[in-house]
Amino acid sequence: MANGVYKHGRIGRINRPLGIGSIQPDDGGEPVIFPSVSVPGGRAGFDDLRPGQKVKYLLRPAEGWPVGIAEDVIPEE
């Protein structure tokens, strides 16, 4: 598990074949991308996520991604 302060948001889009999704932050910022490996349970946990579902996540800087990439994406509902 990563260290840091969790942010909160809702699942936006999910591309299951590619194993990536986006989170719309509650603070109204730009959407954040996350890979399936960022969800507890890996692909199985990722496949359980639904658009609009509330999650908490850590944001880490990533080269080429101005907002960063979400990791440790945990469902809250």
Please give the model's pTM, rounded to 2 decimal places.
Answer: 0.88
Provide the domain count of the chain: 1
Q: Which amino acid is at 20?
A: I
Question: CB-based contacts of 46: which residues, under 8 Å, 6+ apart?
Answer: 14, 16, 19, 21, 36, 39
**Per-residue confidence (pLDDT) for residue 68, from 0 to 100:** 84
DSSP 12-60: EEEETTTTEEEEEETT----EEEEGGGSTTHHHHHHH--TT-EEEEEEE
For residue range 19-51, what is the model confidence (pLDDT) as tens digits?
Answer: 999 999 999 989 999 999 999 999 999 999 999
Distance CA 16, CA 74 (A): 17
pLDDT band at 2 (very low <50, low <70, confident <90, very high): low
For residue 20, the domain's CATH number is 2.40.50.140
Q: What range defines the domain where residue 35 resides?
A: 7-70
Is residue 2 one of the residues assigned to a domain?
A: no
Is residue 46 one of the residues assigned to a domain?
A: yes
